[in-house]
Structure 1
Amino acid sequence: MIINTLELQNFGIYSGRNELDLTPETKYNKTRPVILIGGKNGAGKSTMFEAIKLCLYGKKSLEGKVSQKEYLEYLDSRINWYTPEDETVMIKMTFSLYRDNIDPTLAKEYKYDLTREWYREGNTVKEEFTIYQDNVLIELDEEFWEDFIEEVIPQGVIDLFFFDGEKIQGLAEANNAELEKSIKALLNLAIIPTLSRDLRNIYKRHIEQGADKVSKNIIAQTNNDIKRIQKELQKLTYSYGEATTKVGSVKRKIESLEKKLKETGGEFYEERDHLKSEEGRLKANVNQVNLEIGSDCGELTPFLLAPNLVKRVLENVEEEVQAKEIQSSQKVLMNKKAELEKKLKKILKESKIDKSKDEEIYNKVSGFLASWESESNIESKYNIGPIELREVKARLSNNHLEKFLKDFDKLEGIHRSLDTIQKKIEAAANDDVIISIHEQINEQNLILGQKSKDQELILKEKNQRENELKILQKNLQKVHDRIDRSEDQSLNYEKIDQVVSVLKKFEDRLTKIKVANLEDEILNCYRQIHRKNGFISRVNINAETFDVTMFDNQQRVIPVDKLSAGEKQVYATSVLWALSNLSGQSLPMVIDTPLGRLDSEHRDNLIKNFFPNASHQVVILSTDTEIDEEYYTRMKNDISHTYCIDFSIDDKNSNVGGGYLFNEGKA
């Protein structure tokens, strides 16, 4: 398959008519597979990706089950704001496809022209879809549009070739459901459960026809009740979908208002009183710390800046204090000396010792007491006592210096907090603006409460109907089981059961075979685009749970969820490349934002090994930060031609032009 052209008219962000020729060209005897489309973030790359799938599959291109009303609302939301009243919204594709899944005599390459167009008519949207095969209009009722395209190009298969950041992310996060979905699409296994259900339904209708009259009446009445409840459930499901949409719409309004409130300073306004109180407390703390620092600075702390001088002064002070202590002691001793001499004279006078010896004794004792006398020549400069000295030494210690520095750090921290608080207070908007937004939020919250209540009531009724349906189906099954036990039907039932069992075994075996092939292909693709050669030696996929296990050269497990963001993207890209290779289909590959999380080495490998070899036609939607001038130059020999999505800031619209983001013309 080759997508030849794509045309967008008034779709989403695209205004007017935008045409792209996507057919790969041959230059210098080499077919260049890559068509490079560049655009800044928000310019419309993903919108173009969305348009291709929408043109092909319509309502089925949207995720999940979507009602017709929801689909038309979606189409309405994709109408460009500036679409003239006399113009429609249109997506047009032409592609060529070799078909061999039909009558062999008709197998050949066909050309298809698809046009999906819609417009507003009153309060609703009208959609038209036309398909031309080899310039012949295929006339189909609206309900069969997507079925015809599904037959030509199964959506499950083309999903393997069209992938964006979201799909890569799903696989990168080891999403088993995403991988299982892709593998079943590859094998077209959805047909087997459908076939099994159809066989059982055919059998049920068969046994109903052969049932007795009473059983037939019960079956008929039960089937009527089932159909009635199914219709009610269909309406309730639609109503629940509408209610969910309304709840979501109100929530988005509230989110928008809360964002606006935040932008205008509302989040700070709500706590402004608290902020003001906090501001006052911090200012008081600043004053207190300043007083403490000022007190320190007014006394001895500045001397800490001259430690050598302080040391010498303290030594002199200690000498002076010691001298004073000696002088004080000397004074006490001299008093004691005089007292002892007086007592000695009295004792000698009253004693019976020879008087000639009195003077000798007195002189010896007096001489001994004279040794207590000492003179200090230190001049008193500081007039500091020992207690004051100890206090000064404590104030000039390292501990006091540390406290002094901590006070300064504390003051700096308080100032930072105070600055943050004051900025928040300044950011708070005026009362009128905030009150208005608050009133709108409160109003929307009341609406949300009512809409949520309506949604809950519908869901409750829906659950009741589902339970009633289960009971009816269970009763119907009991009737079938009773008839099954009859001799006439037991053999048929066993045959049906055997066929279903064989189909299940066939599905399991085919899955295991394809999974084994996929393991080898993932490893092959991974090695081509991963920067570490030999990093992975084996890939194992559980055919039942679809858990993926990777092993290194030492056969140690490498959990996928432990890979870096870039390695996860390489792994996911390898899985998608492997799936497309195993599909056996020759389809174009469309890749949106391919290099987002990759480092330079991984980007090099993708540009060298993946893009030129991924398919015969590779449409890449990229930003200039992914494929820049350097990578563009490296890819140039594989690029057929380029386009640039130009976004107008003034008009808020995009248009497609020639060239890439930094050059003009074709590659």
Structure 2
Amino acid sequence: MKINKIELYNFGSYEDYCVFDLSSNDPAKKIVVIGGKNGAGKTTLFTAIEVCLYGHYAFGYKIAGKFYFKTISELINRNARIKEDMVAYIRISFSQAEGREHNDYTLERRWHVHRDNLQETMTVWKNDVLQDTNERRNFQNYLLHLIPPDMLKLYFFDGEKIADYFFSDAQVNIRDALMVLSGNDTFDILYNNVKRVLYRDKNEQNDSSERYLKCQRLYEESKSKLEQTKEQRQELLEKIDQTHANLDELKEDYKTKGGITLQQWQSLQADLTVEEELREQLNRERKQLAAEVLPFIILKKLVAKVLPQINDEEAFRSYKILENKLTAPSFIAEFEAALSEVGLSQAKQREQVLQHLNETLLVGDWDDYSPLFSLSQDETIRVSAIVQHLQTFNTNRFSDIKNQLTKSIERSKLIRGKIKDSNIEHLSDFVRQTTLLEGELEVLSTKLEHNELQIVVEKEDLETKTKILQSARDDLKELLKQESVKNLSSRVLLLLEDLQEHLYTRLIAEVERCLKYKLDQLISKADFFDDIRIDQSFNVHLFRNQEILVTDLQQMLKIGGTKGVRQKIGDLAYQYFTNTEEDISYA
């Protein structure tokens, strides 16, 4: 990676826009030195490079959460933070040789603050082409493996504190970074996964076995309980059927012996009463017809003359009324006065008009007629209605009444026969026994309803127990499989440990050689160190070959003990000099 340009906007001590143009075409210029006074912004620049390249990974955060954004908020220029709506960003342009290809990248991290709400956006250009979301995500992973965050301090460091980076008590451990950089982190992942399999709780299989046995017992209990409830249901059904049979047998036996229920006996009595009331009604109707209708049916021809006679008498009465009106002196006087007004003043003319009027209105020969009935108006209406009823009366009604009476008498005989043959002597015993059996049926039906509800609940419980048992069985099967995996993993772990030791030894030797070569180039002070040692934990130790008098060691031991000696000569020299506290005391 070759950084060509770094642009800062409102980041740290860099207010507004600042740019560092580091581009150079001279291949010999591989090192960039940033100089300045304390507080000038050297460390801020290094931090900006880390943040731009790695985002939240630069501070060891796994996600871009509130702690990360709090850190970013503190890094934004304090004058810019005063503004309600503020923008800050870091933009780095660099070149990277990737095989035979040479690609130019521009990476920008931009923060927008609005009313204390901080949002981050990451933008990537590859050869001036804007990358999409997936490409940006892949590019971030690419950077993490290209130069792991812990390795970045090998490339960007404070010259005054370079030595502190390699001491054993340094805060930065480059082991993981070197493993990623060399591609050997895969063995670490594999090794840790194998250990996780082997160090799993040894009691887990026993717990799973006990859980499976417990679930199996609970399942069997639930199943047995359901079967018992179903058997109880079958027993209830059989008892209900038997009670119904007993009730039917009791009724049939009572019926065979002539016994009837009180309701049946009351029904027969009610039927007999109905027939008697029907005959009484028919007899009343027959007597009424014999008194009111039969005589007129016998004198049918005379009845036929009644209406014509009534009509004639009505016409005669109308004639006489009109005649009396026309011959009344008052009418004649008013009529003659009216004729005089129209110009008929002669008495003879008036008599002729009056005679003509009488001849016109008084039609019919009623001089010798004599009324027979002389009925009033109301009497005429009633007699006319009676005559019309007699003329329309159906004479078959007499035979219908006779037939109905005959059939009613026959039905009454049958009912009386049933009552005679019936026996209600043991009715009270029958009712008592019937009531007991019906009560038993009601109790059994209630129990059956409760039993069926219980079956539904127990079926649901059994289904739940079945699922739990299946889950426990699957877990046990999985653990049994894992036991086989553990046996294989034990052998794999031993192989990986041997392989790791071999790889670590080679990697450490290579890193020691490269570090010594580079530090010899960078550090101009003579005899600053003689060699480099990296232990199995990848802690870096610089040491010098220097003679120490035994008397000096004895003085160190006397003043600070073995701990004091260790602090004076260093961990590596202490381990090289002796392996135990007794050895150093003996010395």
TM-score, normalised by the number of residues in structure 1: 0.37
User: Which has a greater percent of helix?
Assistant: 2
| Larger RCO (CA within 8 A; separation ≥ 6) | 1
Larger radius of gyration between Structure 1 and Structure 2: 2
TM-score, normalised by the number of residues in structure 2: 0.41
